[in-house]
Homo-oligomer: A and B are copies of this chain.
Amino acid sequence: MYIVMGTPGAGKSTVIKEFKARHPDAQVFNFGTVMFEIAQKEYGIANRDEMRKMRRDKFRELQSRAANELMKMGKGIIIDTHASINTADGFYPGMPNYVLSKLTIDSFIYVHASVETVLSRRLRDTTRRRDIESLQELRFHESVNLAMVCSYASYVNAPIKFIINEDGKLEEAIKQFEECVRI
């Protein structure tokens, strides 16, 4: 199982999407989507913003149930998720220890781009509704993400592969992704 995380706005989804286009047999799951499907079905949640504002214990329960679902999917799957989740209560660890302890992880793949690249992309991106983060928040988010993924890696003893996805470097990023994932 490959856990893909990234600096917000670094192009994680683009890299995964393009990888999937080239490797149609790859099994990709979005952790948030798996959570959301459970949330809709069993907690009457209508949208993702609402899910982020859920009570803490329910949110934890959801994470746990999503992990259980993913455990059933077999080896070599790719999980698209977040190192940390920015909610009204603060930054939640995306993969807290009790979730990690349920999973067998080959490696963490962390897609990164510089803050400058991320901000310039966000200014151009009018198609996707995102909570707007200030530069300071973005730097916090990035530092938190990095520290979180190191904590996860120590806990499960898996490596962290950093993939740099600056503008115009998508092809290289995908090549590195392909080297890392053995599906």
List residues of chain A with CB under 8 Å of any chain B CB. Answer: 56, 60, 63, 84, 87-93, 95-99, 106-109, 112, 136, 140, 143-144, 146-148, 150-162, 164, 179-180
Most B Cβ at <10 Å: residue of A98, A112, A162: A162
Please give the distance in Å from A18's CB to the nearest CB on chain B.
20
Taken together, the copies of this chain in the complex come to: 3
B140 contacts A162, CB within 8 Å?
Answer: yes
Taking CB atoms, residues of chain B closer than 8 Å to A88 are: 179
Closest 8 A/B residue pairs (Cβ): A90-B161, A96-B157, A147-B150, A90-B159, A89-B159, A151-B154, A147-B147, A93-B154
Q: Would A97 and B155 count as touching, CB distance under 8 A? A: yes
Q: Are B97 and A157 in contact (CB under 8 A)?
A: yes
Q: Min CB distance, A92 to chain B, in Å?
A: 5
CB neighbours of A143 from chain B (8 A)? 146
CA distance A104 to B26 in the complex (A): 40
Bound-state CA distance A97–B89 (Å) is 22
CB distance from A7 to the nearest CB of B (A): 12
A162 in contact with B97 (CB, 8 Å): no
Contact of A93 among B144, B147, B153 (CB under 8 A): B153
CB distance from A3 to the nearest CB of B (A): 12
